[in-house]
Structure 1
């Protein structure tokens, strides 16, 4: 063990408050940098350096290797604060923490490779389709394939993707595969209307070797069937889908909160076009729209906190949540995304057409939330079907593995 990363134990509530405060300090820096990150389609090295330097990418990294090993409520609150400055920066921070969480499920040997000499090492993880060519070889596998939408891959020392092993005479088994970033290449494919700063490009592996100790069965971890795979002492061994969604929704909530604050500040000086109202603050329509948007943001926060507290509660009790709880967790995160999208739509309409000026931060937040809220984990009606199926006593995994 690296003695340089030992630290005195800090009470959980004090650590939570400290880490959230560090995120709050960075908000203005992120806000100033957000336009540049959007233009370059990646976070600046200054921003990622400040986030990493504040310890905010090792929230779920094991304590024994220099991490904070916090609860997921801390992950939610930290990314929400960062999202109030820049949605893309918060999204990347959430994804990198989720990636590090996956590494914490691997063997000590793999964890030591990742963090043994650098407790700030970051991992980008994608739950997309498995790589298309996997050859079993002595001591491991050789992999060729691509993984798209790899948020955070421009700022990671390690990359995790899914691969399928076997299948010639039966169903292949899916594994997490952990690869050094130096072994893969990144294809520039992230040309999107929003969340541009996330640099969610395509990661490419060309015949790279992955040793056995850097492979972890995917489905057992997803289903909480972790006996013999993940140490029983690991608090979140049964909560993979929930941890991943928590890593995403803080960005959306923070963006919606920032937009609400911005519009509330401006209503005192902006007129209502085409009317005799000298200021928006005097218009009942503006007041009603602000009330509706504020309630949507509050609703998003309440559902997000319930989700985080449910995951943390099961973790503290050492219990595996049942399928209904897991299905509701996916529905909760989807509802958060929907409420944030509806809130920002109301706010840009309330503000007026100048919200879409390129110099106005509202248009960037609007695009970021509209893209982020349509992530595959939230969209296409699948979460609603998953939850509904669980509510009538059927197995939601028949529809989606992400439960």
Structure 2
């Protein structure tokens, strides 16, 4: 990987210093089903929520590879904190595709937390100057601590044509249900959010052209270097969360195994058992291979953006398939380590079991589930259409 820029290095160093605290706060984060304040404050101080904000608004405007490395580090401390950070950062980048007036409103403070419900379960009704928005969105990660929220909704035009649009609303327009109670990634606060008859001005509503970073009426529409393909960018920022959780699980296993006997056997130190040695090597190599694979797609994504080009269909499908493979392979690596862990691993106070549950839960995410992702990749490899618009 290319050396980090100065700003990214400073953020990363601050995050790495915070990792023990993020990990220590894991149990309390789970209990309250939302990030403890200290986690948010540490990341805010580190500059994490400025990473995707354009420089002209006081942000760091880091390239996607540097964002990914920071997310990887956060996730080594706490999977829930990593996942929420990913959503807030990637959604802030999405705001950079909105018209100038919207960007000026959202990025006014230089650091911002943006959540989003991207399943179009809302309705937009055209009115003078904009729209009225109503609807509910499930699994809205990070919404309890977000300052803005992106809501996908359908609008019916006068000619009967229906269109999916993305409305940007301030936190005060959003109500949050107390319905997030899950076995993994439980600190993400991915509750149902609801908006009732809120006015959204026209400059805070964009159409599906954002998928190709093609929205007009914005200062950075032709800028090179950060106009990534939306879904490819989102996938590229999701993957480091899985990689960070898996790397954390490996670290935690290695910390605990030294001198640990294998119960009801004559093995006084589990490290001496060949099966332990082989399993640890397999898990470590699987994680390292996934980390190396991620560097390839991050390079392709950035090179295309630097040239002012969009990824090809084949490149998008490949990226989705490879991210799906990373989700599958990192989950399997953590499972390998879990299977050779002692019974005390299931204690809530043991951080390993939280990594195991977090990666298991996050592997079920609809956009990232390995089966669908690998299918799209395989179809393209076989000279077929991807079979999905979500690449």
Deviation at 1:49, TM superposition (A): 1.4
Q: Is this contact kept in 1: 2:173–2:198, CA < 8 A?
A: yes
| 2:109 is the alignment partner of 1:127 | no
2:194 aligns to what? 204
Structure 2 Cα separation of the partners of residues 28 and 224 of structure 1: 37
Q: Is this contact kept in 2: 1:221–1:237, CA < 8 A?
A: no
Deviation at 1:227, TM superposition (A): 6.0
In the TM superposition, 1:51-200 aligns within 5 A as 51-116=43-108, 118-131=109-122, 133-166=123-156, 169-200=159-190
Structure 1 Cα separation of the partners of residues 87 and 185 of structure 2: 13
| 2:223 is the alignment partner of 1:222 | no
1:274 aligns to what? 264
- Partner of 1:235, secondary structure, is coil
1:4 aligns to what? none
- Partner of 1:232, secondary structure, is coil
Change (3 A) 1:329 1:380: closer
2:232 pairs, out of 215, 222, 242, with 242
Q: Is this contact kept in 2: 1:259–1:344, CA < 8 A?
A: yes
- Partner of 1:84, secondary structure, is helix
Deviation at 1:224, TM superposition (A): 5.0
Change (3 A) 1:245 1:226: same
Q: Is this contact kept in 2: 1:226–1:238, CA < 8 A?
A: no
1:253 aligns to what? 243
- Partner of 1:57, secondary structure, is helix
1:296 pairs, out of 286, 291, 294, with 286
Deviation string, structure 1 residues 114-162 (Cα, Å, up to 9, x no partner) = 122x11221112322341x321100111011011111111111100011
Deviation at 1:318, TM superposition (A): 1.4
Deviation at 1:265, TM superposition (A): 2.2
TM-score (norm 1): 0.92
- Partner of 2:118, secondary structure, is coil
Structure 1 Cα separation of the partners of residues 340 and 35 of structure 2: 30
1:349 pairs, out of 314, 334, 339, with 339
Q: Is this contact kept in 1: 2:206–2:215, CA < 8 A?
A: no
Consecutive unaligned residues of structure 1, counting only runs of 5 or more, are 1-10
| 2:9 is the alignment partner of 1:21 | no
| 2:382 is the alignment partner of 1:392 | yes
Structure 1 Cα separation of the partners of residues 309 and 81 of structure 2: 33
- Partner of 2:15, secondary structure, is helix
Deviation at 1:264, TM superposition (A): 1.4
- Partner of 2:49, secondary structure, is coil
TM-score (norm 2): 0.95
Deviation at 1:266, TM superposition (A): 2.1
Q: Is this contact kept in 2: 1:79–1:93, CA < 8 A?
A: yes
- Tell me whether 196-205 or 118-127 shows the greater mean CA deviation: 118-127
